[in-house]
Structures are given as structure tokens and as C-alpha cells.
Amino acid sequence: MQKSKNTINNFCKVKVKRTLLEIILCVIGVGGSFWVEFVQGEIPCKLCLIIRYSLAITGAVFIISLFYEKIKMLSPFPLIPAIMSDIVLIINETKIGKQGICEGNICQTPEFLGIRASIWALAIILPLIFLSLYEIKERLAKIRREKSQK
């Protein structure tokens, strides 16, 4: 009995740490988008705004999931528009960059440490998706175990 209680406590601690990591990733993504807009002076396109709002909604879902665990199952859904708009943004940047249609760098996202902001967004969105799906998989496995024990 004591061993199973320790296992449950360890699982809860790890789950909270993962949720905090997910919240931190969302804050970094949204904060980075505001930094690009207000500090660098770039006006965000519609695709960048979709990414920003998707990350904000996902962060809210993660914060709520700290108190109400069942809502965690919804966490990947707000990220779907973010990943789709980021992929479209990256495709448009590569097309425009190769054809030289735009004057200057108008149609490309700004760079930070030599990497475009759209790639940074993808680097934040993908781990969030994988962490969300991993937690859903664990939750479903836990439900199956509970049903098999009954």
C-alpha cells in the first residue's frame, strides 16, 4: 500500500512540473510575440496573431488544468490553428524569399539569434503538442487501468 501511495505522489509531482513547463512555454511564446511587435516595431500579420491567440488560449487551458484535470484533454485543440498558420507562414516566407517579390524584408518575419520568428514559434508549438498528447495518453492509460481493476 505504501509503495502505491508513493507512486501516486511522484506521478502528481511530475504532472504538475510538466504542466508548469507547458505554461512557461506558452508565456515565452506570447511574450516573444509581444516583444517582436512592441520592441522591434514589427506589425504582426494575421497568421502571427493566430499563433499568439492560440498560445494564449492553450496557456489558459493549462492554467485551468492545474485545478481541474479533465480540461487537459482539450489542450491540443487550440494549437491546431497555430501549427497550421505557422506552416503557411514558413511556406510563404520561403516562396517569397526565393522569388524576390517583396521589397526588402517586408514579407518575412524578423530574426532573433539568426533564426526567423516563425521557426521560433514552431519550436515552441511542437513541444507543447507533444507534451499535451503525452499527458492525454497517460490519462487514458490511467482510466483503462482503473476500469480493468474494477
Tens-place pLDDT, residues 90-126: 666 666 555 443 334 445 566 667 667 667 777 777 7
CB 65 within 8 A of CB 19: yes
Q: List, for residues 125-147, the tens digit of each pLDDT value.
A: 777 777 777 777 777 777 778 77
Domain coordinates in residue numbering, the chain: 2-149
Cell numbers at 144, concatenated:
483503462
How far, in Å, CA of 62 to CA of 127, rounded?
Answer: 14
Q: How many angstroms separate the CA atoms of 37 and 110, rounded?
A: 10
Contact 22, 132 (CB under 8 A): yes
